[in-house]
Amino acid sequence: MQEESRSDCGCSCGGEGGEAGAEKRLGWHEYFMSVAHLISRRATCTRGHIGAVIVRDHNILSTGYNGAPSGLPHCNETTCRIYRSTHPDGTVEENCVNTIHAEINAIAMAAKHGVSIGEADIYITSSPCIHCLKVLINVGIKTIYYDKPYKIEHIDELLRLSGIRLVQVSPGANPTA
Ligand SMILES: [Zn+2]
Ligand SMILES: [Zn+2]
């Protein structure tokens, strides 16, 4: 038996302070948002690809992407079925009737596998629609981190009344919040 030398950490990095140690390490926000973007590549609705990651204490609890319910035909195998709805402010929104949104799928997977997600945060590649936001509030999500804005004006009032936080995060930059 012999003691490991201080500089030999057992991996290929060359030890603490080695050449590879100078590589830029991903920050937590960048890390989880990058995971959300990767997950979005599993999405099947041709209307848009969204990924969601539910996180507590830097630990991934559940993930989801938008697509048809399990076992049903996906939009990329058949076709999207679009319906229109009118928001109270008069703007018309189009959605796909086949699809479950990414954040709802992440919540569904947590429920299916018995994972508690109260007091967690969520990373989503787009800000949530008003319907998903209502569910995120009831789940007890504390902060929603998003990359691309989606009809933020529709959720302004709900954000203000609920106190849930909405923070923009790009995969390449950390927020100040
Ligand atoms: Zn679709
Ligand atoms: Zn939604």
Model confidence over 116-144: pLDDT tens digits?
A: 999 999 999 999 999 999 999 999 999 99
pLDDT, mean of residues 62-85: 95
103 is catalytic: yes
Find all residues with CB under 8 Å of 176, minimum gap 6, and list them. none
Report helix, strand or coil for 59: strand
Q: Which domains can be identified in the chain, with CATH numbers?
A: 28-67+100-168 (3.40.140.10)
For the entire predicted model, the pTM comes to 0.85
Crossing angle of helices 102-112 and 130-139, in 10° steps, is 30
Nearest-5° Cα angle at 117, 138 to 99: 70
Going by pLDDT thresholds of 50, 70 and 90, the confidence category of residue 12 is low
Going by pLDDT thresholds of 50, 70 and 90, the confidence category of residue 173 is low
Pick the catalytic residue from 23, 103, 119, 153. Answer: 103
Residue 168 is inside which H or E element, if any?
strand 165-168
132 is in an annotated binding site: yes
CA of 2 from ligand 1 middle (Å) equals 61
74 is in an annotated binding site: no
On the question of pLDDT at 149 being above 70, the answer is yes
Q: Are 67 and 42 in contact, with CB atoms under 8 Å apart? A: yes
